[in-house]
Amino acid sequence: MRAAATLRTSWRERLFGTPTITVVTLLLAAAIAWVAVPIIRWTLIDATWSGQTRNDCTGTGACWVFVKARFSQFMYGFYPAEERWRPNLAGLAFALSGAAIVFAPQRLKLRLGLAALVILPPLGVWLLAGGFGLRAIETREWGGLMLTVFISIYASLIAIPLGILLALGRQSELKIIKLISVLFIEFWRGVPIIAVIFLASLLLPLIMPSGIGVDRLARAVIGLGFCIAAYMAEAVRGGLQALPKGQREAATALGLSYWKATWFIILPQALRISLPAITNEFIALVKNTTLVLVVSILDLLGIAQASLADPNWVGMNMEAYVFSGGLYWLICFALSRWSKSLERQR
Amino acid sequence: MKTFVLAAALFAAGTLAASAQQLAPSPTLDAIKARGHLECGVHLGLPGFSFANDKGEWTGLDVDYCKALAAAVLGDATKVKFTPTSVQQRWPILQSGQVDLLSRNSTITFSRNATLGLNFQGINFYEGQTFIVRKKANVKSAEDLDGASVCVAAGSTEEKNAADWFRERNLKVTITNFQKNDDAITAYDSGRCDAYTAGVGALAGQRAKLKVPDDHTILTKPISNDPQGPVTRYGDERWQLIVRWVLNGTIAAEMLGVTSKNVDEMKANSKNTEVRRLLGAEGGFGAMMGLPDDWMYKAIKQVGNYGESYERTVGLASPLKLERGQNQLWTKGGLLFTPPFQ
């Protein structure tokens, strides 16, 4: 109670303490209003929400009719309408198991997590791509938010284990393992991601004998995964180096093997220390998925841009970018909150 | 006996050689038939030429050509899959064999033809730099722009082209520079210049973004020459032949008055030999390329002739409302032309 009162007085003092401060506060408030009011008017007040075509958009604000007409494409790309339950189901499976792991009792967490790691990725690919009883759907028909989420999840499934192994490898006393790790990290960290995606999509088919086609999306996901793994390795190495040497020495003295010491003593501490840096990499990954646009894989941003070419909707640039930008922000914000809650966990 | 066998062998070899001369092997066509669909590289999104509509179907002038080709080759205009390509990946994706052809508003130039290992198979759109002006300004051609001002993006090819063109003709035109294309068109829309310049196809898309599109008109006679058409790899001449003559066929159909509506009647009743050859009623033209004789009949029936395609995608029946201009038949004052079906 007392703390709140102090806070209130202190805020009043900080904002309106002296005449100079008051003037600055008012000026800043005016500046914020000057920027915010037109934005709010455009996005909400003057915007058109209902209708079918652009002719229904008579107001001066945003024409959300466009987003409404294109909503299913923004979400699923060209994925056949009657099969959209499949990405929905896959998303639900991932979300539910994520929640189950978070809320499970401590002793079950690890087992649940490992089980999910073994079952979910193949299940997701099967649901989306089909085969084995489901109608096969080529990756060129995938798109939109679904594809952005897919690339993010699967690239990080490659990046996390690989990144941790590389970080450990770089600390290894075995010269050859250390060398391989350093070479891998320095190579993938030094090459621009956009170049990797380009080479994976264009150069590989030229080199490889025709007929052996690895799917274009798979190539992009693997390339992206390798790049992020290299970044991830350095983030984890930061955590490893922050641990006092005594931790491993004590573990060894207790008779734990290298892997046991790493798994039970070193990694849990190191990962917690490097969590903010790792989250950073994930958020960068989500946003970097948009780079697949250069090889015409239509992720959320790609499908938004492609929609602008429909003569019925040309000129809806603001709506397309505001909507897709908003979705990216939501995903990244959710990731950031999740990592915060992980950091707080004991 | 020996001579008989020898003669028979010679005869067999002779007929083989003759048929091989008529029908060269076409790995591309064989691959298309084996996989059951055509692989066509298109633009990622260009209003009127290639874009996905609200239902996720690819449409546009370049897309229509691929559909016609699929109808001619496989008998079904829906048996085509589209690979959207960016500017950077369009050539490699064709060179590496990931698509059977590109139909992607790419300008035909000497150096591309000579150095990329690619052949251009005719022209399906005469693109060229032109101007958009206000209807009430009463400007009929670029020459009328004397004394006017033109908005352009600084340092663009369009700026250089326009400046050169006006200087050569001693026309006093003020060129107003802007940082980006978008800024230039916005400035034009707000009345700071009398004209804005870009390619015909691009202008059609940009006109739709203006406050009152109907107040503006696009000059049909361009000041530059950027013809565009379908592209194939070097080699596989029979496939190149098919790609070229399906395009010619859609133009010939318009020339001869064959449309998707009257094609059945024309095939049954027309006395015109060229129509009869085009639609496979006589001449066996399809078989000469290893296609069914009704190849163009299927293409016209399912997709329509060039004019029908044009009107539907970029022409007056579309939101772009682009006039035919240079893309009109040569008999009607345009440049569109096809060698005869003889």
DSSP-based three-state secondary structure for B4: helix
Task: Please say if the pLDDT value at position A117 is more than 60.
Answer: yes
pLDDT at res. A270: 92
Selecting from B51, B54, B92 the residue whose C-beta is nearest the C-beta of A69 gives B54
The radius of gyration of chain B from alpha carbons, rounded to an integer in Å, stands at 23
A325-343 mean pLDDT: 90
| Closest to B242 measured CA to CA, from B283, B276, B290, B275 | B290
CB of B138 within 8 Å of a chain A CB? The answer is no
pLDDT at res. B20: 46
| Closest to A338 measured CA to CA, from A94, A97, A100, A102 | A102
pLDDT at res. B18: 46
Between the alpha carbon of residue A9 and those of residues A13, A20, A21, B20, B175, the distances in Å are: 6, 18, 15, 96, 60
DSSP-based three-state secondary structure for B297: helix
Give the tens place of pLDDT for each residue, A58-89.
878 899 999 999 999 999 999 999 999 999 99
Inter-chain CB proximity A310 and B208 less than 8 Å: no
Parallel/antiparallel/unpaired status of strands B216-218 and B149-153: unpaired
The gap from C-alpha B170 to its chain's centroid, in whole angstroms, comes to 34
Inter-chain CB proximity B86 and A294 less than 8 Å: yes
Task: Please say if the pLDDT value at position B45 is more than 80.
Answer: yes
Give the tens place of pLDDT for each residue, B255-296.
999 999 999 999 999 999 999 999 999 999 999 999 999 999
Q: Which helix (H) or strand (E) segment is B133 a member of?
A: strand B129-134
- Spatial contact of B209 and A315, defined as CB atoms under 8 Å apart: yes
**In B, which residues are within 8 Å of A206 by CB distance?**
92, 95-96
Inter-chain CB proximity B56 and A210 less than 8 Å: no
- Domains of chain A, earliest start first: 2-46 (no CATH), 67-79+137-344 (1.10.3720.10)
Give the tens place of pLDDT for each residue, B310-321.
999 999 999 899
pLDDT at res. A10: 78
Task: Please say if the pLDDT value at position A247 is more than 60.
Answer: yes
d(C-alpha A11, C-alpha A25), whole Å? 12
Inter-chain CB proximity B45 and A309 less than 8 Å: yes
Measure in Å the smallest separation between the Cα of B297 and chain A Cα atoms. 30
- Spatial contact of B203 and B130, defined as CB atoms under 8 Å apart: yes
Packed helices B237-255 and B306-313: angle between N→C axes, nearest 10 degrees: 80
A25-30 mean pLDDT: 94
Mean of per-residue pLDDT scores for chain A: 88
Give me the total of CB pairs closer than 8 Å, taking one residue from chain A and one from chain B: 83
Q: How many CB atoms within 10 Å of residue B318?
A: 21
Q: Which distant-in-sequence residues (6+ apart) come within 8 Å of A318 by Cβ?
A: A42, A62
d(C-alpha B293, C-alpha B326), whole Å? 31
CATH class of segment(s) B25-126+227-332? alpha beta
The residue to which tokens 């790309």 are assigned: A77
Describe the strand order of the beta sheet including B174-178 as a list of residue ranges.
B174-178, B149-153, B195-199, B129-134, B216-218
pLDDT at res. A213: 62
Measure in Å the smallest separation between the Cα of B118 and chain A Cα atoms. 15
Beta bridge partners of B101: B40
CB of B320 within 8 Å of a chain A CB? The answer is yes
**In B, which residues are within 8 Å of A302 by CB distance?**
44
Q: What is the DSSP letter of B214?
A: G
Q: Which helix (H) or strand (E) segment is B82 a member of?
A: strand B80-85
A131: left (phi over 0), alpha (psi -120 to 50) or beta: left
Preferred mutation among A57, A71, A296, A312 to probe B, highest tally of B CBs within 10 A: A296
Give the tens place of pLDDT for each residue, A178-199.
999 999 999 999 999 999 988 8
Question: pLDDT tier at A107 (50, 70, 90 boundaries)?
Answer: confident
- Tell me which chain B residue has its CA closest to the CA of residue A314: B209
d(C-alpha B256, C-alpha B249), whole Å? 10
Task: Please say if the pLDDT value at position B55 is more than 60.
Answer: yes
pLDDT at res. A340: 86
Chain B segment 145-204 residues within 8 A of A by beta carbon are none
Q: State which amino acid sits at residue B159.
A: E
Please give the angle made by the CA atoms of A283, A328 and B45, to the nearest 5 degrees.
120
Measure in Å the smallest separation between the Cα of A252 and chain B Cα atoms. 54
Measure in Å the smallest separation between the Cα of A72 and chain B Cα atoms. 9
d(C-alpha A108, C-alpha A313), whole Å? 52
Preferred mutation among B46, B51, B86 to probe A, highest tally of A CBs within 10 A: B51
Q: What is the DSSP letter of B98?
A: S
The pair of three-digit structure tokens given for residue B231, joined into one six-digit string = 């592209």
The pair of three-digit structure tokens given for residue B295, joined into one six-digit string = 């190849």
ipTM, 2 decimals?
0.81
The whole model's pTM is what?
A: 0.85
The answer to whether the B25-126+227-332 and B129-224 domains have the same CATH topology is: yes
Give the tens place of pLDDT for each residue, A251-300.
999 999 999 999 889 998 999 899 999 999 999 999 999 998 888 889 99
**In A, which residues are within 8 Å of B198 by CB distance?**
none
CB of B235 within 8 Å of a chain A CB? The answer is no
Question: pLDDT tier at A111 (50, 70, 90 boundaries)?
Answer: confident
Question: pLDDT tier at B328 (50, 70, 90 boundaries)?
Answer: very high
d(C-alpha B323, C-alpha A291), whole Å? 37
Inter-chain CB proximity B205 and A294 less than 8 Å: no
Q: Which distant-in-sequence residues (6+ apart) come within 8 Å of A300 by Cβ?
A: A74, A144, A145, A147, A148, A290, A324, A327, A328
| Closest to B28 measured CA to CA, from B108, B128, B92, B101 | B101
Packed helices A216-242 and A267-288: angle between N→C axes, nearest 10 degrees: 140
Chain A segment 315-344 residues within 8 A of B by beta carbon are 315
Parallel/antiparallel/unpaired status of strands B231-233 and B118-120: antiparallel
Selecting from B52, B95, B208 the residue whose C-beta is nearest the C-beta of A306 gives B52
Measure in Å the smallest separation between the Cα of B50 and chain A Cα atoms. 8
For residues A51, A56, A58 and A60, what is the CA-based torsion angle, rounded to 10 degrees?
50
- Tell me which chain B residue has its CA closest to the CA of residue A77: B56
Q: Which distant-in-sequence residues (6+ apart) come within 8 Å of A73 by Cβ?
A: A143, A144, A303, A307, B52, B54, B56
Selecting from B45, B92, B320 the residue whose C-beta is nearest the C-beta of A305 gives B45
- Say what percent of chain B tops pLDDT 90: 73
Domain ranges of chain B: 25-126+227-332, 129-224
Selecting from B93, B96, B205 the residue whose C-beta is nearest the C-beta of A311 gives B205
The gap from C-alpha B41 to its chain's centroid, in whole angstroms, comes to 13
CB of B117 within 8 Å of a chain A CB? The answer is no
pLDDT at res. A45: 87
Domain B129-224 has CATH 3.40.190.10: yes
CB of A215 within 8 Å of a chain B CB? The answer is no
| Closest to B334 measured CA to CA, from B302, B310, B304, B301 | B310
**Residue B31 exposed, middle or buried by CB count within 10 Å (0-12, 13-18, 19+):** middle
The radius of gyration of chain A from alpha carbons, rounded to an integer in Å, stands at 25
Inter-chain CB proximity A311 and B320 less than 8 Å: yes
d(C-alpha B260, C-alpha B299), whole Å? 9
CB of A53 within 8 Å of a chain B CB? The answer is no
Secondary structure string (H, E, C) spanning chain A: CHHHHHHHHHHHHHHHCCHHHHHHHHHHHHHHHHHHHHHHHHHHHCCECCCCCHHHCCCCCCEHHHHHHCHHHHHHCCCCHHHCHHHHHHHHHHHHHHHHHHHCCHHHHHHHHHHHHHHHHHHHHHHHHCECCECCCCHHHCCHHHHHHHHHHHHHHHHHHHHHHHHHHHHCCCHHHHHHHHHHHHHHHHCCHHHHHHHHHHHHHHHCCCCCCCCHHHHHHHHHHHHHHHHHHHHHHHHHHHCCHHHHHHHHHCCCCHHHHHHHHHHHHHHHHHHHHHHHHHHHHHHHHHHHHHHCCCEHHHHHHHHCCCCCCCCCHHHHHHHHHHHHHHHHHHHHHHHHHHHHCC
CB of A195 within 8 Å of a chain B CB? The answer is no
The residue to which tokens 């802007």 are assigned: B178
Preferred mutation among B35, B49, B54 to probe A, highest tally of A CBs within 10 A: B54
Q: State which amino acid sits at residue A122.
A: P
